[in-house]
């Protein structure tokens, strides 16, 4: 593998213009193809085996007019009523206009809210479309707004829009999170590398890779359903890993040049060594993300695959495009140094290393960790364990329009309907009934009566019956019931469970009929349960994969097991933080969240897959240095000092870049993006603390036992050598004093730039 990567790096450096042009052509080609394919992201999903999916299938077959996309035009009078005078004329014209829109089934009717303790009169018209979102015109929501213009222009009316159509076609503005994250990444890179030209290489690589990755997702969306959050998630992960992977390779190249290596040889060597760490870490992320298909939810699996596709593109960019760019700029990558900023490669009398002052500053911390390992291990473990405590109460669900930005039309419509009809009106339950061969009107009536008398349900609509004489239809009925509590309430979840387990079975006992509780609220609850059931299997899969890779690379049971368990602790702490902020509403207002909400069902799965792979970067970078020095000197304490001193700068820089890129997405108004941004940012910070503090402390405590592996296991495992450090330490490589006491003043003379 090292030889293959070396040749790849050298060839890309020599043919730099060809490689760059091929990348630009590929990016242009994929965007042209995606434009021609006319794909679109959408959030349609199925939940195999769930009762809500049974209800959805029955409705699609027997009530196709109820299975399409819906929208609501919500009216609120500021003066007068909705059924008299100018207000009535404006509402009537609006409803008549909506009935003429492309894809609308039937004529919407005005439904008025019962009189309440509020002065304004509230009503809405439900607009039913015949198809799914991908079947409607691209400007369907714009057409709806134009149709509602008479009411919107009326001086005494306020109009807002809700429903699936609005959520799909009028999402909240994405904001400028990617620009903010990129800006901070640039600043960190300037200080880490001390050169504007050097800084530009990983940034350019990440941006070009992101162009190809997001363009590929857009093209893929024309052939399969991909969630609307996919491009934002891809941008977030792509920027982070793209810059980090490029940074690993670039720093190795700079050090090679400082050693006096020929440029193309230096690039080849950097790709052959640091590139292997990139290959290992990137492959781990990709496999973990593709493992999301184990969740049993196609939507989640495709979301994981789309993120994995972006990571794959970024990994290829770091191994091909970056070497080409490094070959293009030549030795300018080390010559154009900003005075007073960042490290400056310099030669010394001993093998062109760094000056002793700078080396001493970095090894001083490493020696402190080795001398006082428990001083570092215990506090870090306690802090992470404490932060993980709220994760015990995590409740998976889905956000709705009630968590949208207050200025959005969806949120205004949601709040208006909740004020007029009650909080549960925004999450109706569709009870689909498969009737037996005989007339089922009495059966449907019994179901409606049972629902009406149930505590927690405020209103039911009369049953609607299918027409079995029409092709492909059976005898079926549907009853719409409105809960008393909001869609994301725990009480609503308990109500649905009671209806399924007790109320409906009792009402249908002996009839031969089957009833399924469906609707968007029930679908979200079923999605959460399905993912929660599959989460342990997925965790075992990813942890097993991580442990296997660590064993193959480092030939150590304790080191591999410790790295996997600490990664798990880091993810658990991240779960605890997002649970405390979003679900328990602790400090939520700081990030623009004004109410508590459940954790979006697929967020924990995605976080686990992403973070386990990303943490491999830092673990591999640190442990590879420790392992190499231990195999040379057999001094475990000295090896920890060498590995920590040799990797601290690049790990710190990479973690800061990841943190700022992910944290910048917290400003995005969409709650699910905020969850991803906060969870990823916090976990990356925890990973850095673990690798720079907790892992070295534990490896010191383990001593020689930290590198033990049973002989039989060593024989059966394949061998994969990874050298991801920035350089070897000449003072250790050929130093006859190999066993220098770590408490003394002898320190490694070489360190990465």
Residue 268 included in any domain: yes
Position of tokens 């059931």?
533
Smallest CA-to-CA distance from 531 within 315, 372, 300 is with 300
User: CA–CA separation, 568 vs 540, rounded Å?
Assistant: 10
User: CA–CA separation, 192 vs 659, rounded Å?
Assistant: 15
- State whether residue 424 is helix, strand or coil: helix
CB neighbour list of residue 109: distance below 8 Å, 6 or more residues apart: 95, 125, 126
User: CA–CA separation, 683 vs 418, rounded Å?
Assistant: 37
User: CA–CA separation, 398 vs 395, rounded Å?
Assistant: 10
Residue 408 included in any domain: no
The encoded tokens of residue 125 equal: 């018209």
Residue 724 included in any domain: no
Q: Work out the angle at residue 319's Cα, subtended by the Cα atoms of residues 318 and 323, and round it to the nearest 5 degrees.
A: 85
The secondary element (H helix, E strand) that includes residue 482 is strand 476-483
Mark whether 74 and 13 lie in a shared domain: no
Mark whether 224 and 121 lie in a shared domain: no
Residue 589: CB atoms within 10 A of its CB come to 11
Do residues 102 and 136 make contact, with C-beta atoms less than 8 angstroms apart?
yes
User: CA–CA separation, 127 vs 69, rounded Å?
Assistant: 9
Smallest CA-to-CA distance from 17 within 270, 251, 252, 323 is with 323
Query: How do residues 392-440 score in pLDDT, each as one tens digit?
Result: 988 887 777 777 778 888 889 999 988 888 888 888 899 999 988 666 7
Do residues 450 and 429 make contact, with C-beta atoms less than 8 angstroms apart?
no
Residue 401 included in any domain: no
- Give the pLDDT of residue 146: 93
Do residues 272 and 9 make contact, with C-beta atoms less than 8 angstroms apart?
yes
Do residues 534 and 527 make contact, with C-beta atoms less than 8 angstroms apart?
no
Query: How do residues 527-537 score in pLDDT, each as one tens digit?
Result: 888 888 888 88
Residue 600 included in any domain: yes
- Give the pLDDT of residue 172: 59
CATH code, domain carrying 98? 3.30.70.100
* Residue 339, CB-side half-sphere exposure with 13 Å CA sphere: 0
User: CA–CA separation, 125 vs 109, rounded Å?
Assistant: 5
The encoded tokens of residue 690 equal: 């673990």
- Give the pLDDT of residue 721: 60
The encoded tokens of residue 328 equal: 């293009």
Mark whether 196 and 164 lie in a shared domain: no
What are the C-alpha distances in Å from 177 to residues 389, 661, 706?
A: 30, 8, 42
Q: Which of 304, 334, 364 is the last residue of a domain?
A: 334
Position of tokens 């869609």?
487
Segment-wise mean pLDDT, segments of 10 residues, the chain, 753 residues: 86 92 94 83 79 88 76 90 89 92 85 72 87 77 92 92 78 66 80 78 92 91 84 86 87 82 89 84 84 82 90 94 91 66 45 36 80 93 94 83 81 89 87 80 89 89 78 78 87 92 90 89 87 83 82 85 89 93 88 83 84 77 83 86 84 86 84 88 90 92 90 82 45 35 37 34
Mark whether 655 and 692 lie in a shared domain: yes
CATH code, domain carrying 488? 3.30.70.1430
Query: How do residues 350-395 score in pLDDT, each as one tens digit?
Result: 332 333 334 444 678 888 999 999 999 999 999 999 999 999 988 8
What are the C-alpha distances in Å from 246 to residues 153, 278, 323?
A: 54, 9, 9
Position of tokens 């730039």?
753
Mark whether 277 and 140 lie in a shared domain: no
> What radius of gyration, in Å, describes the C-alpha atoms of the chain?
30
What are the C-alpha distances in Å from 108 to residues 20, 72, 99, 701?
A: 56, 10, 7, 72
CATH code, domain carrying 255? 1.20.1640.10
CB neighbour list of residue 653: distance below 8 Å, 6 or more residues apart: 188, 189, 192, 247
User: CA–CA separation, 492 vs 244, rounded Å?
Assistant: 44
Residue 506: CB atoms within 10 A of its CB come to 10
Smallest CA-to-CA distance from 239 within 571, 659, 620 is with 659
Residue 266 included in any domain: yes
Could you give the angle at which helices 557-578 and 603-633 cross, rounded to 10 degrees?
150
Mark whether 557 and 607 lie in a shared domain: yes
- State whether residue 341 is helix, strand or coil: coil
Residue 75 included in any domain: yes
Structural domain containing residue 496: 428-518
Smallest CA-to-CA distance from 657 within 603, 697, 617 is with 617
Do residues 640 and 629 make contact, with C-beta atoms less than 8 angstroms apart?
no
User: CA–CA separation, 108 vs 97, rounded Å?
Assistant: 10
Position of tokens 């363009």?
215
The encoded tokens of residue 244 equal: 């980090």
CB neighbour list of residue 723: distance below 8 Å, 6 or more residues apart: 2, 273, 276, 624, 628
Mark whether 116 and 202 lie in a shared domain: no
- State whether residue 588 is helix, strand or coil: helix
Q: Which of 145, 169, 193 is the last residue of a domain?
A: 169
The secondary element (H helix, E strand) that includes residue 433 is strand 429-434
User: CA–CA separation, 265 vs 273, rounded Å?
Assistant: 12
Polymer length in residues for the chain: 753
What are the C-alpha distances in Å from 750 to residues 348, 358, 368, 644?
A: 10, 10, 19, 12
The encoded tokens of residue 269 equal: 């060597």
Q: Which of 169, 189, 209 is the last residue of a domain?
A: 169
Structural domains counted in the chain: 4
Mark whether 505 and 621 lie in a shared domain: no
Mark whether 248 and 275 lie in a shared domain: yes
Residue 423 included in any domain: no
- State whether residue 486 is helix, strand or coil: coil
Mark whether 160 and 207 lie in a shared domain: no
- For residue 125, list its beta bridge partners: 73, 110
- Give the pLDDT of residue 90: 93
Mark whether 283 and 329 lie in a shared domain: yes
User: CA–CA separation, 417 vs 72, rounded Å?
Assistant: 10
User: CA–CA separation, 546 vs 500, rounded Å?
Assistant: 40
Mark whether 623 and 667 lie in a shared domain: yes
């Amino acid at each position: 593998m090292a030889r293959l990567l070396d040749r790849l790096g050298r060839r890309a450096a020599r043919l730099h213009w060809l490689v760059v042009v091929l990348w630009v052509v590929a990016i242009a080609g994929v965007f042209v193809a995606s434009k021609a394919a006319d794909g679109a992201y959408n959030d349609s999903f199925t939940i195999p085996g769930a009762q809500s999916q049974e209800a959805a299938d029955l409705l699609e077959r027997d009530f196709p007019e109820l299975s399409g996309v819906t929208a609501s035009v919500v009216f609120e009078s500021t003066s007068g009523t909705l059924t008299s005078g100018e207000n009535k004329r404006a509402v009537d014209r609006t409803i008549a206009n909506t009935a003429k829109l492309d894809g609308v089934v039937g004529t919407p009717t005005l439904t008025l809210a019962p009189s309440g303790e509020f002065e304004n009169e509230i009503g809405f018209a439900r607009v039913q479309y015949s198809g799914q979102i991908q079947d409607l015109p691209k400007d369907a929501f714009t057409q709806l707004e134009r149709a509602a213009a008479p009411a919107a222009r009326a001086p005494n009316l306020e109009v807002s829009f809700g429903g699936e159509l609005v959520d799909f076609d009028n999402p909240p503005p994405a904001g400028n999170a990617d620009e903010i994250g990129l800006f901070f990444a640039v600043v960190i890179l300037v200080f880490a590398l001390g050169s504007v030209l050097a800084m530009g290489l990983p940034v350019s690589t990440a941006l070009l890779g992101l162009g190809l990755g997001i363009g590929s997702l857009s093209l893929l969306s024309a052939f399969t359903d991909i969630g609307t959050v996919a491009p934002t998630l891809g941008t977030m992960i792509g920027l982070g890993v793209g810059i980090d992977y490029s940074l690993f390779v670039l720093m190795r190249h700079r050090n090679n040049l400082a050693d006096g290596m020929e440029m193309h040889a230096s690039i080849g060597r950097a790709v052959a060594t640091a590139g292997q760490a990139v290959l290992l870490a990137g492959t781990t992320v990709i496999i973990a993300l593709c493992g999301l298909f184990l969740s049993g939810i196609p939507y989640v699996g495709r979301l994981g695959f789309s993120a994995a596709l972006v990571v794959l593109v970024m990994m290829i960019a770091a191994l091909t495009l970056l070497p080409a760019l490094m070959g293009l700029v030549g030795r300018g990558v080390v010559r154009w140094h900003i005075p007073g900023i960042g490290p400056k490669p310099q030669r010394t009398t001993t093998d062109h290393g760094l000056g002793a002052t700078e080396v001493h500053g970095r090894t001083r911390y490493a020696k402190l960790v080795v001398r006082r390992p428990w001083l570092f291990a215990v506090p870090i473990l306690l802090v992470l364990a404490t932060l993980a405590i709220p994760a015990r109460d995590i409740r998976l669900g889905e956000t709705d329009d009630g968590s949208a930005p207050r200025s959005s039309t969806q949120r205004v419509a949601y709040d208006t309907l909740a004020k007029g009809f009650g909080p549960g009106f925004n999450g109706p339950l569709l009870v689909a009934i498969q009737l037996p061969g005989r007339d089922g009107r009495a059966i449907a009536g019994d179901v409606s009566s049972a629902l009406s008398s149930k505590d927690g349900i405020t209103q039911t609509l009369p049953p609607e019956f299918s027409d079995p004489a029409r092709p492909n239809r059976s005898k079926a009925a549907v009853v719409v019931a409105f809960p008393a509590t909001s869609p994301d309430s725990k009480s609503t979840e308990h109500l649905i469970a009671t209806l399924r387990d007790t109320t409906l079975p009792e009402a249908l006992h002996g009839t031969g009929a089957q009833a399924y509780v469906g609707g968007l609220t029930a679908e979200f609850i079923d999605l959460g349960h399905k993912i929660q059931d599959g989460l342990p299997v997925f965790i075992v899969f990813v942890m097993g994969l991580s442990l296997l890779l660590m064993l193959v690379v480092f030939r150590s049971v304790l080191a591999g097991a410790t790295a996997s368990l600490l990664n798990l602790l880091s993810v658990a702490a991240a779960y605890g933080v997002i649970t405390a902020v979003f679900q328990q509403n602790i400090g939520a207002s700081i990030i623009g969240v004004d109410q508590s909400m459940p954790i979006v069902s697929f967020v924990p799965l995605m976080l686990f897959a992403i973070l386990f792979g990303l943490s491999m970067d830092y673990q591999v970078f640190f442990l590879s240095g420790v392992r190499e020095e231990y195999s040379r000197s057999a001094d475990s304490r000295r090896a920890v000092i060498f590995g920590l001193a040799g990797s601290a700068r690049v790990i710190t820089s990479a973690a800061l870049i990841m943190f700022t890129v992910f944290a910048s997405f917290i400003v995005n108004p969409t709650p699910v993006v905020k969850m991803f941004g906060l969870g990823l940012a916090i976990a990356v910070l925890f990973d850095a603390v673990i690798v720079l503090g907790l892992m070295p402390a534990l490896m010191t405590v383990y001593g020689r036992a930290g590198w033990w592996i049973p002989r039989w296991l060593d024989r059966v495992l394949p061998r994969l050598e990874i050298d991801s450090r920035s350089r070897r330490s000449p003072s250790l490589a050929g130093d006859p004093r190999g066993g220098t006491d770590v408490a003394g003043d002898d320190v490694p003379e070489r360190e990465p730039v």
